[in-house]
Amino acid sequence: WVGFTGNHSRMAGRRVAVLRWHLAGSNTDGDARGIGHSTVRTARPGDSVLVHCEAWYTDDHGKRVAADLFANNEVVVTIGSTEGLLMPALGQSCLGLQAGQTKAFTLTSQDKGHPQPRRDKNLAVEMESGDADVTVGATVRIRYQGIARPATVLSHDPGKQVVTVDMNDPLAGRVLQIQARLNRFDMAPAVVAVHIDEPNAADVPARRFTLAELRQHTGANEQEIYVSLCGFVYDVSSSSHMYGPGGMYHFIAGHDGSVALGRFKIDPALCDKPWGDLEQSERASLAHYVRTFLGKYPLVGKLAQSL
């Protein structure tokens, strides 16, 4: 078209403009059409994405407290899955997000995927404090019914030398505020390693349990209640309302509950199963329970065999 003048040059200009529009054109259905077209990816059902997830709750004194749910606050989520910690709400929150975008949501104790939905009022007790220097809101280790347990200080009366402590898990029954940021797409489940804590070898009693021996400790006839996680056996008798007869988690009493807790399922068929093949989000759920057990219940030994 070089050398054209008048109407011809104006027509050429329009043709160039039309050609440029087609080269840079876009559509709204996510398909790539035309040369030079680029799309912005958004999360859809079935996508496996890396999520930076921060969670917190407000305690009884109005203080914001971080909830330690995932190592480094990162977890791989398969959108649409219903299994695992904070699921399905965490996956649903990622729908439609682009990489780098953030969405906040609330998880109540009635919602599926809550890490500790039940709070037992009977675990808030008064104890003598003596002349100890006690800080309200602090986490302390107490001895209750012969068992060393962590507890949160609710109140302290120095005059009466009485302290009220709560032995529930700090997340029990709490409304969780969660902020999820989609970091990356196309994540294989093993890309982000999930660390599962283990007790110090010196703290593990020498006793070894066969699965048959472990099954003798279910809380029946006022016996102890033992639960194995990742092969380590804990005495959970102090939480008989949860693990004893009639409790929500009684089905794992006398068993290894790693897979059941990792998959967040109340299913006796998942007891005493190998946990090494759990998916990343399931391992994150299991890691949370292991941290809770290590801080809350005494170790009594290990399984004699690997699962």
From first to last of the 307 residues of the chain, give the pLDDT tens digit. Answer: 334 344 444 444 444 443 343 334 434 333 333 444 558 999 999 999 999 999 999 988 888 999 888 878 888 889 998 877 899 999 999 999 999 999 999 999 999 989 888 888 888 889 888 888 888 888 777 777 666 667 888 899 988 999 999 888 888 899 999 999 999 998 865 445 667 888 888 889 999 999 999 999 999 887 899 999 999 999 999 888 889 888 889 999 999 999 999 988 889 999 999 998 888 778 888 988 898 898 889 999 999 998 8
Determine the pLDDT at residue 162: 92
- Largest interatomic CA distance in the chain: 103
Determine the pLDDT at residue 147: 60
Please state the length of the chain. 307
- Say if pTM beats, i.e. exceeds, 0.85: no
Specify the 3-state DSSP secondary structure of 168.
Answer: coil
Determine the pLDDT at residue 168: 82
Determine the pLDDT at residue 1: 36
Determine the pLDDT at residue 145: 66
The letter for the amino acid at 65 is: V
Beta-carbon contacts of residue 69 (< 8 Å; ≥ 6 apart): 53, 55, 85, 86, 115, 284, 288
